[in-house]
Amino acid sequence: MASDPRNVEIKYTKLFIDNEFVDAVSKKTFSVLNPSTEKVIVEVAEGDKADVDKAVAAAKAAIARGSEWRTMDASRRGLLINKLADLLENNLDEISAIETLENGKTFEFSKIITSLSVNVLRYFAGFTDKIHGSTIPTDGPLLTMTRKEPVGVVGQIIPWNYAIMMATWKWGPALAAGCTIVLKPAEQTPLGALYLAALAKEAGFPKGVINVVPGFGSTAGSALSWHPDVRKIAFTGSTQVGHFIMESAAKSNLKKVSLELGGKSPLVIFDDFNVDEAVEIAADAIFSNHGQNCCAGSRTFVQSKIYNEFVTKAAAKANSIKVGDPFCPESQQGPQVDKATLDKILSLIESGKKQGANVAAGGNRVGDVGYYVQPTVFSNVTDNMIIAKEEIFGPVQSILKFDTLEEVIERANSTEYGLAAGVLTKNIDTAMVFAQAVEAGSVWINCYDEAIGPHTPFGGYKQSGIGRDLGEESIKEYLETKTISIKL
Ligand code: TAP
C-alpha cells in the first residue's frame, strides 16, 4: 500500500459477476465521493436490472444440482471462508484505508472494524460442517430425519455505515449455509465490497458463488428484491426501505426476508451510578462512528437527582471530541457520509432548537468543506420532540429527565423502534427488571454497544427488524429444513 493511506490505490471499480470484473450492460458509471474533501475518488460501474439479472443467473448456476459449490464438502467450504478471512487480515490496512476514504470513519476505527470483520468470517467458517438436522421418533414403523439445505440464491442489500463489516455479517452465514450471493453495496461505499470480492476470487470461491453489483437502491436494489430467482433477501438499512423490501418479496415470489433496520435506542442512567463513568459510556453510545450506528444510544434518559451534573459533564465531553481529517491519528470524528446526510442532521438539529430543547454543546456544521458536524448535546428534551422520536443517524445526543423505573420503562418502549437499549445502575434488581421489560433485541447493563461479536445474535423488535444477524441464529435464516421419512 502507498505510504500515505490517503493515496491507497483503487483497483476495483467494475461489477463483479461470475468471478470477473465487468462493465455495466448500460456502460454507465457513477461517482464515489470522499466525504472529507467532497471530491470524486473514482467512477464505478453502475449496475441496473440487466446486471442484476446476469448476476442472479451466475449465482443460480453456481448452486445448481451437481455444481462444484453444491457438491463441495462442507469442511472445504469452511476452508474457503477461512482463506478469505486470512486475505482480509493480510490486506487490513489497505481495505481500511478504502473504508475511510469512501465512508469518512477514522482510519484507526476502520482498522478495528476490519479486524472484527475477520473474526466474523472465521466464526462462520467453523460452522460449515456443524450444520445438520436430527432424527425424530415418529408414530408407526417410520424413521424420520431432517436435513438442512441452503435456501438458494440470496440477495443482500447493505448500507454505508459499516461497508466491510456489513458485507461479512451477510456473507458469513450465507456461505456457511452453502447459499450463493448477489450483494448490492450502498451507492456511497461500493469500493470496499468490490475489494472483498477480489479477495474472494483469490481465496478460490468457484465462479458465481459471490457476485457484487454496485448501483442505486431504486434500480439495482429494487431489481434484486423483486427478482423471481432470488429466494431470500437480507437487508440492512432504513425502516422505510425495509417496508419496500417486504412489499417486493410479497408481490414477487414470497422470498424469505430478514431485515436489520433503524433504531432510537434508550440508554437509562440511574442516580446510583458514577456520573463520570456514565458520561463516558453515554458519549461512546451516541458519538461512536459519528452517530452513524443503527443501535446508537440516541435517547439518554438521566434520573432527576444527577440530571444537571450529567448535562454539564456530557457537554464538556462532547466539546472535547476532536473532529477532523479521518486519516489524522488525533481525529476522533470524521465527516458524515454525504451531503444529504449532513443536511438531514442539520435540519433535525434546527428542529430541536425550534421545539425548545437547550443546546448544551455543538449544534452546527464544522467548516464548509467536508460533511463535518459538531458533536451536539441537547438537554431539556421531551418525548414529543422530533429529536426524541426520529432516528438522526448523526452525532446528536438528546438528554431526557426521568424519576422512576416504571416511568422510564414505559417511555423507553413508547417507540416503533426496538433495536437496542442500555441501563446503568448498581442495583441488579433495577437492571434486570429493565432488561426484561424493555422491547429491544440487545440490552446492555452497565455498558453500551459491547460484545457485538460473531457469537451474539443481533437484530430488532418491532419496526427495527425481522430475523437476526450474527450467531448461530443467523445461519438458520439461510437454511430450509427438509423432513425425510422412511417406512420400516
Ligand atoms: P437505506 O437508504 O435504507 O439504504 C440501505 C441500502 O438499501 C442501500 O444499499 C440502498 O441503496 C438500498 N436501497 C435504497 N432504496 C432501495 C429500494 N427501493 N429497494 C432496494 N434497495 C434499496 O439506508 P441508509 O441511509 O443507507 O442507512 C442508514 C439506515 O440503516 C439507518 O436507518 C440505520 O439505522 C440503518 N442501519 C441498520 C442497521 C441494523 S443492523 N439494524 C445497521 C446499519 C444501518 P443506495 O445505496 O442507492 O441508497
Q: Is 102 touching ligand 1 by the criterion CB < 6 Å?
A: no
Q: Is 312 touching ligand 1 by the criterion CB < 6 Å?
A: no
- CA 159/CA 165 separation, integer angstroms: 10
Contact yes or no for 441/137 (Cβ under 8 A): no
Q: Is 30 touching ligand 1 by the criterion CB < 6 Å?
A: no
Long-range CB contact pairs, 86-92, < 8 A, 24+: 87/199, 87/202, 87/203, 88/114, 88/117, 88/118, 88/121, 88/168, 88/196, 88/199, 89/115, 89/118, 91/195, 91/199, 92/118
Q: Is 421 touching ligand 1 by the criterion CB < 6 Å?
A: no
Give 315's contacts (C-beta < 8 A, 6+ positions apart).
360, 361, 377, 379
Residue 229 CA, ligand 1 centroid: distance in Å: 22
The pLDDT assigned to 171 comes to 98
For 333-358, what is each residue's pLDDT tens digit?
999 999 999 999 999 999 999 999 99
- CA 245/CA 240 separation, integer angstroms: 9
Amino acid identity of 291? G
- CA 385/CA 387 separation, integer angstroms: 5
Q: What is the pLDDT along the chain (488 residues), one digit of tens a residue?
A: 678 999 999 999 999 999 999 999 999 999 999 999 999 999 999 999 999 999 999 999 999 999 999 999 999 999 999 999 999 999 999 999 999 999 999 999 999 999 999 999 999 999 999 999 999 989 989 999 999 999 999 999 999 999 999 999 999 999 999 999 999 999 999 999 999 999 999 999 999 999 999 999 999 999 999 999 999 999 999 999 999 999 999 999 999 999 999 999 999 999 999 999 999 999 999 999 999 999 999 999 999 999 999 999 999 999 999 999 999 999 999 999 999 999 999 999 999 999 999 999 999 999 999 999 999 999 999 999 999 999 999 999 999 999 999 999 999 999 999 999 999 999 999 999 999 999 999 999 999 998 678 999 999 999 999 999 999 999 999 999 999 999 98
Alpha carbon separation from 360 to 300, 371, 375, 474 (Å, rounded): 14, 21, 10, 41
C-alpha cell at 92: 487490513
Q: Is 221 touching ligand 1 by the criterion CB < 6 Å?
A: yes
Q: Is 237 touching ligand 1 by the criterion CB < 6 Å?
A: yes
CA gyration radius, the chain? 23
Residue 152 CA, ligand 1 centroid: distance in Å: 23
Contact yes or no for 160/186 (Cβ under 8 A): yes
Task: Give the number of other CB atoms < 10 A from CB of residue 431.
Answer: 19
The residue whose CA is least distant from atom 40 of ligand 1 is: 260
- CA 128/CA 83 separation, integer angstroms: 14
Amino acid identity of 65? R
Residue 263 CA, ligand 1 centroid: distance in Å: 13
Contact yes or no for 314/279 (Cβ under 8 A): yes
The pLDDT assigned to 453 comes to 85
- CA 339/CA 213 separation, integer angstroms: 23
Q: Which residues are catalytic?
A: 260, 294
Q: 0.90 cut: is pTM over it?
A: yes
Q: What is the 3-state secondary structure (H, E, C) of 83-111?
A: HHHHHHHHCHHHHHHHHHHHHCCCHHHHH
The pLDDT assigned to 199 comes to 98
Question: What percent of the chain shows pLDDT beyond 70?
Answer: 99
299 class by beta-carbon count within 10 Å (0-12 exposed, 13-18 middle, 19+ buried): buried
Residue 394 CA, ligand 1 centroid: distance in Å: 15
Which atom number of ligand 1 is nearest to the Cα of residue 187? Answer: 46
- CA 33/CA 40 separation, integer angstroms: 4
For 245-281, what is each residue's pLDDT tens digit?
999 999 999 999 999 999 999 999 999 999 999 999 9
Residue 150's region, left for phi above 0, alpha for psi from -120 to 50, else beta, is beta
Q: Which of 81, 52, 364 is nearest to 230 (CA)?
A: 52
Q: Which of 237, 227, 197, 230 is nearest to 44 (CA)?
A: 197
Q: Which of 157, 168, 162 is nearest to 203 (CA)?
A: 168
The pLDDT assigned to 452 comes to 74
ipTM beyond cut 0.95: no
433 class by beta-carbon count within 10 Å (0-12 exposed, 13-18 middle, 19+ buried): middle
C-alpha cell at 441: 433485541
Q: Which stretches of 355-478 are DSSP H helices?
A: 386-389, 405-413, 428-437, 471-476
Sign of the CA dihedral with 340 first, then 341, 345, and 351 last: positive
DSSP 307-331: HHHHHHHHHHHHHHSPBS-TTSTT-
- CA 259/CA 234 separation, integer angstroms: 6
